[in-house]
Structure 1
């Protein structure tokens, strides 16, 4: 039991050091699109409509996917081209000069074989294009995780946007499981690891003291 406690602390420290982004708070609301008006198979959402909690369609239309195909996370996802190429946005709060990691899962509407499907991602003055080149099906979308790392240029509310670029007659890139996390500085993680080490040292000292008293 004593060895288990110390080893558990060490394992937790190692896990955080290897994958810090997943230990941080997701700054995106409803990143997997699970909260919103029931879409059934799918529902087309137009500019200004509020069917998807936390998100807005700022241009064109998107399809809010329910049971039509398998999601990357949960039961719902997005086709970024409904009856036209669409842009999906959300305001997030950033801190100037802070490093962030944006991750999301990308696929494509499998009803049209024209590939690749591309999306332009914008946030905090940074834009980058991502493409999906797989061969999805309704039952196996072949979701691919994508990552955009950036440093915020200003403090305050910033618009996160996903825009369909090429969608094969409005069969668009598919989006799911969006996450935005702050990336701690290396010095911060060094301090945390040191803290874990001090906790382990303290536990071991208490165990030794207890053992001496028991055998006194």
Structure 2
């Protein structure tokens, strides 16, 4: 097969891989701003709430606004009493397949003077713990890239509950392209570049 044909085939494969990676990038995003605020929130299209007695509250602008300027967000320890473990839990309605992902979110302390709290995040066989976060720790950005066997995203506020949990907002899960995808893209771009250089040389020789 001629170099030109090979280059064209590789470039097409790279373009297809790039398109696949782009279409599969952000799989889940939730900022809670379109959801109805309320104590003991019942969830929405993106998230279910774990089984009682644990609960969560959806608060924000004009309603227990602990972090002004951030719209709506979730207090991961709702208003169903004290002593529950877990205190509250969000479970994504979307189930993710086996693969590599990036999880991003904003997480802050309870901002009401209560004790430091800990939150656990997991998808399948992957999990991580954030905290304990002091009450005044602020609403900060976190990012984790990991490989998992797959499953729903679980966000769990450890107990015992005291109705003053960590606060979460802007949850995003993105797919990370497989290494073979990146390799195919690099090869495709490299061959395309070589073709351009070859044509320039031929043009100069002519």
Give the TM-score of the pair, scaled to structure 2.
0.67
Alpha-carbon distance, 1:71 to partner:
7.2
**Structure 1, gaps ≥5 residues long:** 1-20
Show the counterpart of 2:128.
Answer: 128
Query: Displacement of 1:80 after TM fit?
Result: 0.4
Task: Determine which of 64, 77, 81 is the counterpart of 2:77.
Answer: 81
SS of the residue corresponding to residue 61 of structure 1 reads: coil
* 3-state SS in 2 of match to 1:45: coil
1:150 equivalent to 2:147? Answer: yes
Deviating more after overlay: 119-128 vs 79-88: 119-128
Q: Would you say 1:65 and 2:59 are equivalent positions?
A: yes
1:38-49 maps to which residues of 2 (within 5 A)?
A: 39=37, 43-46=38-41, 49=42
CA 1:205 to 1:167, structure 2 compared with 1: closer, same or farther past 3 Å?
farther
- Matched length: 175
1:71–1:77 CA contact under 8 A, matched in 2: no
What does the per-residue CA deviation read over 1:60-89, in whole Å, with 9 as the maximum and x for residues that have no partner?
2211122113379x6222110111421111
TM-score normalized by the length of structure 1: 0.64
Structure 2 Cα separation of the partners of residues 145 and 173 of structure 1:
14
SS in structure 2 of the partner of residue 33 of structure 1: coil
Deviations 1:178-216 (A, max 9, x none): 22222223232121122233444455667x48x86xxx9
Identify the match of residue 172 of structure 1 among 165, 168, 182: 165
Greater RCO (Cα-Cα under 8 Å, separation 6 or more): 2
SS at match of 2:181: helix
Partner of 2:95: 93
Give the structure 2 partner of residue 162 of structure 1. Answer: 155
Asked whether the equivalents of residues 77 and 161 of structure 2 are also in contact (C-alpha less than 8 Å), the reply is no
Unpaired runs of 5+ in structure 2?
1-20, 81-86
Comparing 170-179 with 86-95, greater Cα deviation is found at: 86-95
Question: How far did 1:146 drift?
Answer: 4.1
Is this contact kept in 1: 2:115–2:134, CA < 8 A?
A: no
Determine which structure has more spread, i.e. the larger CA radius of gyration.
2
